[in-house]
Amino acid sequence: MAPAGSNSVVSLRDCLLRYMDKRKRVRLRYRLSTYKTLLRMGFNGTLHLMARVLPGGLNLRPFLHRLRGVKIGARVFIGDDVYLDEDYPECVEIHDGVTIGPRCTIIGHTRGAGKIVIERQVAIAAGCLIVCASGRTLTIGEGAVISAGSTVSHDIPPYTLCGAPRIKAFGRVTVPFTLDVTYEEFRRGLEPMRAKKREGECS
């Protein structure tokens, strides 16, 4: 014998199914694809994290990024904590013999996918940022060398050495900026730099 109240539960379920319109049924059918997308994003994020922290710049890291969808050629070195586009990994293409230094960031999208192509034997030093706009292709030409801390947002010609301007000396420090020194004390202790005299110049 059915327990008391079971008929009311069954009839309630039948009522809900009966009154569910066609649009709601279609939405339920596509929920599985939503779950697949979320699962893929989680899997991709896990692989990306592993590739950033695990050793193996010549083998393991490129392998993990290939699993994510990044197109990577042979003998590519990827340094520690390199960020290769998490949302659109398929938009990054790295050819044979490329070296990417530690803590570089390569982003192939800005409100929509673009494409970044790093050609053969390119060397990218530590801390570089390479970013591409939506619908565009940014190409770093074969054999180019990018110095540390550079920001790249346009094409780089082949066999070119390029980089950000080097840091300049702005002043002479007379009070070192230690934990015991306030900012005001440090600032008051700064002296302007004097230009060095060139040989043969009169004072």
Terminal alpha carbon distance of the chain: 113
Q: Are 168 and 182 in contact (CB under 8 A)?
A: no
Strands across the sheet containing 115-118: 71-72, 92-94, 115-118, 137-140
Domain coordinates in residue numbering, the chain:
29-162
Torsion sign over Cα 175, 177, 182, 188? positive
Edge to edge, the sheet with strand 129-131 lists 83-84, 105-107, 129-131, 151-152
Helix (H) or strand (E) holding 100: strand 99-100
Secondary structure (DSSP) of 32-73: HHHHHHHHHHHHHHHHHHHHHHSS-TTTHHHHHHHHHT-EE-
* CATH code for residues 29-162: 2.160.10.10
pLDDT per residue, tens digit, the chain (203 aa), is 445 544 544 565 565 566 555 445 555 555 655 666 777 788 888 998 999 999 999 999 999 999 999 999 999 999 999 999 988 899 999 999 999 999 999 999 888 889 999 999 999 999 999 999 889 999 999 999 999 999 999 999 999 999 888 777 888 999 998 888 898 898 899 998 876 655 555 54
- Please tell me the pTM assigned to this model: 0.70
